[in-house]
Amino acid sequence: MLPVLADQFDVFLLDLDGVLYLSDEPILEAIDAVTRLLAGGKTIRILTNNPRLSRVALQQRFARAGLTLPVSAIVTAGWAAAHFLSQHGITRADVVGSAGTREALPSEGITLTSTAPEAVVVGADRSTTYLDLQRAMDHILQGAQFVGTNPDTSFPTPTGRGLGAGAILQALEAATGIAPTIAGKPEPLIFEMACADLPPDARVVMVGDNPNTDIRGARRAGLSSILIRTDTTPEDLPPERTPDVVLPSLARLFGHP
């Protein structure tokens, strides 16, 4: 029987970067914790603002770490952006940054094009160039719907902070005067997609390391939240970003020291 916090919820929405992985490296005790949750009959959803990898690529990454998850359990901001556009009748879109988002759009029936797209989806990856940003700006000023994968200005890596999609979105918003529609956390859209098929009485908790996106998003969605953090206490945070629980690692769901 699952003890302590692990037994208080039916569904765990788990952030990726900083909770399960640091860059490309799995956090082994966290992967083990997810395996134990699954063995205890819990439902797992990966809810990540990272748009760089597709859901299939993430599934394969988890498999290499010894964790088996169906693609349907993985909800990325890139896929959420593509699904959002398909729900709104968009059939032609351009993507700046994020190979994972480029893969997601065709799976949702959207043609990738840099010529007169109906929408432009902006994420981030290391290959994004000035010319990419210029193209996105041109599309937006010509009337294309401006969609951002996520607002994170940075993300954790083993060597420090990496430049996130949010910083690029802010630059394009400054250049165009147009604010993007955000698909990822903390906006409700990605939470609604992740929870769409759950029973109405399911006890759901969001577990993440970012108060601005994970915890704030959970509060907006009316969900419980757990912050994975070693250097922040709830007293340091404003109410809308304050989690229900702070843990140093996912393993502490089981009462580990």
Tell me the per-residue pLDDT of 175-193, one tens digit each, with 9 for 90 and over.
999 999 999 999 999 999 9
Let me know if the fold of 4-49+186-254 is the same as that of 78-182: yes
Give the pLDDT score at 257: 52
Query: Where are the alpha helices (H) located in the chain, listed in sequence order?
Result: 28-39, 55-64, 77-87, 99-107, 130-141, 165-176, 188-195, 216-220
**Topology (CATH level 3) of domain 4-49+186-254:** Rossmann fold (3.40.50)
**15 assigned to active site:** yes
Domain range list for the chain = 4-49+186-254, 78-182
| Catalytic-labelled residue, pool 10, 17, 125, 138 | 17
Average pLDDT over residues 67-75: 96
Is the pLDDT confidence value at 207 over 60? Answer: yes
Nearest alpha carbon to residue 38 among 60, 11, 3, 71:
11
CATH number 3.40.50.1000 given to 78-182:
yes
**Reported confidence tier of residue 138, pLDDT bands at 50, 70, 90:** very high
Q: Among 19-23, 109-113, 186-190, 205-209, name the one with the lowest average pLDDT.
A: 19-23
Q: What is the pLDDT of residue 205?
A: 98
* Residues 6+ positions from 110 with CB-CB distance below 8 Å: 82, 85, 86, 90, 91, 92, 93
pLDDT of residue 1: 44
Annotation says 125 is catalytic: no
> Stretch 208-224: mean pLDDT, rounded?
94
- Read off the pLDDT of residues 222-252 as tens digits, 9 standing for 90 and up: 999 999 986 656 667 788 889 999 999 999 9
Catalytic residue among 10, 15, 24, 138: 15
